[in-house]
Amino acid sequence: MSRSSHDLPAQLLRRAGSSVGEARELPIGVLDLFKIGIGPSSSHTIGPMKAAGAFVSAMGPATAEQIARISVAVFGSLAWTGKGHATDKALVLGLSGELPDRVDPDEANRRFEHIQAHQRIELPCGRKDPVRARQRCCFR
pTM beyond cutoff 0.85: no
Residue 127: pLDDT over 80: no
Domain residue spans of the chain: 42-139
What average pLDDT does this structure show over 104-120? 88
pLDDT band at 1 (very low <50, low <70, confident <90, very high): very low
Return contacts of 4-11, CB within 8 angstroms, 24+ apart: 9/33
Q: How many CB atoms lie within 10 A of CB 92?
A: 24
What pLDDT digit, counting tens, does each position of 64-109 carry? 888 877 888 888 888 888 778 889 899 999 999 999 989 998 899 9
Output the furthest CA–CA distance in the chain (Å, rounded).
64
Closest CA to 3 of 23, 32, 44: 32
Contact 120, 131 (CB under 8 A): yes
The DSSP call for residue 125 is: S
What size, in residues, is the chain? Answer: 140
Rounded to 10 degrees, the C-alpha dihedral 88/124/54/114 comes to -10
Question: Can you identify the CATH homologous superfamily of domain 42-139?
Answer: D-3-phosphoglycerate dehydrogenase; domain 3 (3.30.1330.90)
Calculate what percentage of the chain has a pLDDT beyond 70: 69
Lowest mean pLDDT, pick from 6-20, 25-39, 102-116: 6-20
- Mean pLDDT of the residues in the chain: 77
